[in-house]
Amino acid sequence: MDVEAREQQHVPMWLVGHSISDPEVQVDGGLVDDELNAGYDMISGCITNSSFHKRVEDAIAQARSEQRTHIHIEPLIADEVNMHPGHYMISVIGFASSWIELESADPLIAHVSKQVLDLELAYAAFCGLNQVVIPGPRNREQTAEYAQAISAALSHSTYMQLLIQLPIHDWIGDESAPAESPLYEPYSAWDAWNTIRTVCKYSGQLAVALQIPQRLPNPMVVRRWFCEPIRMLLISNATFCPNNKGFPVFSKAHQNMLTKYMRLRPVPYVLLEQTEFPPLLRAAIKIKHEDDAYLIYLRHLQKNQPPQSTVERFGSGYQDYLQSPLQPLADNLESITYEVFEKDPVKYQQYQNAIELALRDRPVGKEIVVAVVGAGRGPLVTRALKAAELSGRTIKMVAVEKNPNAYVHLLQKNRDVWNGRVTIIKTDMRAWKPTFMVDIMISELLGSFADNELSPECLDGVQRVLNPEGGVMIPQSYTAHFSPIMAPKIYADIATRRSDPDAFETPYVVLFQAIDTLSEEDYIHNAWEFAHPVPAGVLGEAASMGGGFVGLGDGGNDHNLRSCKVTFKVPRRGVVHGLAGYFESVLYGKVELSTRPDTIDQKSCDMISWFPIFFPLKTPIYLPDHSEVEVSMWRRCSERKVWYEWTVEAYVRSGNKRFPLGGSELHSSKKNGCLM
């Protein structure tokens, strides 16, 4: 099936490889062709063989006899390698020797292991390999030593991705019931990875080759690895179980995990290991299929994946992709930007429901003035006209838009679609001075954090034309929400933007995917609220200082300042990379919008108009088990700009006392604030 056909049927693209674990097998063009013809997309093989291993062991033995702790390993020779340059190497993944111990407490072993890795990586690069899998640290207490060696390897492997091979979790004792062991630590493998990638400064060349066991850990561990840069899933025959006909299959838990992980971007490779059953086991369960049974089953799972949701289809390619928030007041948006928003039927249906409800709350027979302020290309105008028809109310329809290009489009639409039923006004809504009062004022000025695109400031400036006798605004209110998250992929992306000194003080719009929430029960805090219309006394005081107009006087916008301070309980260790921001809005009555992951399905399911917002931290903060995160956030403003400031502090409790673990500096988006 070609790529276009896959996309049309929403069949995910999985790349499944076959691991050649025998270190004596030569990886040549013939072997690669055979594996590709068998249905695999790639193979993996050992870079060096037992001849090289024996030479290194002999050198170590001689060094010990001479009581030396440092020796020099000579370069590789032809008889010691399993692969050579060729066009087929694009389909090959190399494995570094499994016997090296970069973190060994024995200085001789550590010194030799580092040389062996350097030799193998250099030869792999020469052969044209793009990726090499390196065995993870065996001694968890020496992980820092291991990480230092990997950091050094990255410095001279510029064009190669290094995959650290790690189990999804460690156990001590009975594998069948690891959670019952007092020594069982579900996050110890992740701890090792966190040390490695931190020492390596979140290098984009570094990723994880994750081993999937027969018995999966608790779902929190599976979720934690989901936020990490998994580039490969290693699955052996022991991971499968036979069905009642003897064919290898996954448990339901494994199927769910694979479905989740294979939706990551980029999609991880799946590497099948040890695809031959031992003869006794084969006889015991009466396997009827040959060695390709595992591959056949994976292809079956691939073709039968659940369909993508509306948000997944719309957001394809935008997962964890950082975008700067819009500046709708400072900039005139292009038609394509409006068009993207207009593809969301859910938002506009909710708006139509709210408008219809507001109209039905008014008497029949009286003309009702309805205005869309910030009309764009007119989707809300269309919905308002439809709501008037459904409610049986007579309306005077007005559209106000400052963008001169969108204004031309509105004129054309009024002529060709609305049959001249709409009064089109070209002006900034804050400077609009009609001769009539508006009964229902509609806007779609909300940003990813509710108020971050200046909805409060815009609506303050136009509220003076709202009928004081029962005039309503849609939306009636909106709230900003946030929660601390782990987002290593996003943090690594921001860290690469060295040319931008404000990269870590810019809030980004982003469709979250590879993240993990840290707060207890995934708690999301309601930071603050804005409600419209604002009490007349508040606006009167602001107006006396120049508030509510395009140019604000000093203090004229102080009523739109906000702040909050909240403590999140963190039950499981992790690293906070920033804050995930969302919003909820009451359009009218019980008609609502939400981007919060825990309420969106109830309030505005499949809405795609807004992605969440991310407030990054310059330096990630490690959080131990049963710790606390205290977040302080402010909405600040001046005469011409609105921005946010935030800081994060970590604490741990002992009895009734709370001890600080560390904290971030004060972050401020003032330089990149939203201009009025």
Least confident range from 115-119, 155-159, 254-258, 401-405: namely 155-159
Residue 182: pLDDT band with limits 50, 70, 90: low
Tell me whether residue 453 is one of the annotated catalytic residues.
yes
Burial 618-653 (b: 16+ CB within 10 A, else e): eebbbbeeebbbbbebbbbbeeebbbbbbbbbbbbe
Largest Cα span, the chain: 105
Give the residue among 203, 44, 30 at the shortest CA–CA distance from 124.
44
Residue 338 labeled ligand binder: yes
Question: What's the gap between Cα 123 and its chain centre?
Answer: 35
Residue 315 lies inside a defined structural domain of this protein: no
Give bridge partners of residue 164 from the DSSP assignment: 134, 208
Residue 362 lies inside a defined structural domain of this protein: no
Residue 97 confidence (pLDDT): 97
**Span 381-399, mean pLDDT?**
97
Query: In whole angstroms, what is the distance from residue 563 CA to residue 559 CA?
Result: 12
Report the 10 Å Cβ neighbour count for 342.
Answer: 17
Query: In whole angstroms, what is the distance from residue 464 CA to residue 461 CA?
Result: 7
Residue pair 294/248 in contact by the 8 Å Cβ criterion: yes
Residue 539: pLDDT band with limits 50, 70, 90: confident
Q: Please write the tens of the pLDDT for every residue from 485-503.
A: 999 999 999 999 999 999 9
Q: Residue 114: give its domain's CATH number.
A: 3.20.20.150
Given a cut of 80, whether residue 466 has pLDDT beyond it is yes
**Span 535-547, mean pLDDT?**
71
Residue 429 labeled ligand binder: yes
Strands 641-654 and 667-668 come out as: antiparallel
Residue 550 confidence (pLDDT): 46
Query: In whole angstroms, what is the distance from residue 676 CA to residue 471 CA?
Result: 25
Give the residue among 578, 596, 586 at the shortest CA–CA distance from 644.
578
Given a cut of 50, whether residue 548 has pLDDT beyond it is no
- 146 torsion bin: left (phi>0), alpha (psi -120 to 50), beta (else): alpha
**Where is pLDDT greater, at 306 or 170?**
306
> At residue 675, what is the residue type?
L
Q: Please write the tens of the pLDDT for every residue from 627-644.
A: 999 999 999 998 788 999
Residue 516 lies inside a defined structural domain of this protein: yes
Residue 375 lies inside a defined structural domain of this protein: no
Contacts of 412 (CB under 8 A, 6+ apart): none
Residue 18 lies inside a defined structural domain of this protein: yes
Task: Select which of 101, 273, 444, 584 is catalytic.
Answer: 444
Rounded to the nearest 10 degrees, the angle between the axes of helix 335-342 and helix 404-416 is 60
Residue 601 lies inside a defined structural domain of this protein: yes
Task: Select which of 453, 457, 505, 592 is catalytic.
Answer: 453
Query: In whole angstroms, what is the distance from residue 212 CA to residue 207 CA?
Result: 16
Q: Residue 664: give its domain's CATH number.
A: 2.70.160.11
Residue 494 lies inside a defined structural domain of this protein: yes
Give the residue among 16, 32, 11, 13 at the shortest CA–CA distance from 270.
16
Residue 318 lies inside a defined structural domain of this protein: no
Residue 6: pLDDT band with limits 50, 70, 90: very low
Which residue range forms the structural domain that includes residue 33?
A: 11-306
Which residue, of 255, 276, 306, is where some domain finishes? 306
Q: What is the number of domains present in the chain? A: 2
Show the tokens assigned to 508.
């980004």
Q: How many Cα atoms sit within 13 Å of 47 on the Cβ side?
A: 29
Given a cut of 70, whether residue 287 has pLDDT beyond it is no
Q: Please write the tens of the pLDDT for every residue from 23-72.
A: 999 999 999 999 999 999 999 999 999 999 999 999 999 999 999 989 99
Backbone angles phi, psi at 202, to 5 degrees: 55, 40
Which residue, of 291, 306, 321, is where some domain finishes? 306
Contacts of 462 (CB under 8 A, 6+ apart): 373, 400, 429, 430, 432, 441
Residue 277 confidence (pLDDT): 54
End-to-end alpha-carbon separation of the chain, Å? 52
**From residue 231, how far is each of 97, 132, 327 by CA, in Å?**
19, 11, 36
**Where is pLDDT greater, at 178 or 508?**
508
Contacts of 304 (CB under 8 A, 6+ apart): none
Question: What's the gap between Cα 321 and its chain centre?
Answer: 8
Q: Please write the tens of the pLDDT for every residue from 346-378.
A: 999 999 999 999 999 999 989 999 999 999 999
Residue 428 labeled ligand binder: yes
Single pTM value for the model: 0.92
Give the residue among 615, 612, 655, 654 at the shortest CA–CA distance from 632.
615
Which residue, of 306, 336, 365, is where some domain finishes? 306
Question: What's the gap between Cα 169 and its chain centre?
Answer: 23
Average pLDDT score, the chain: 91
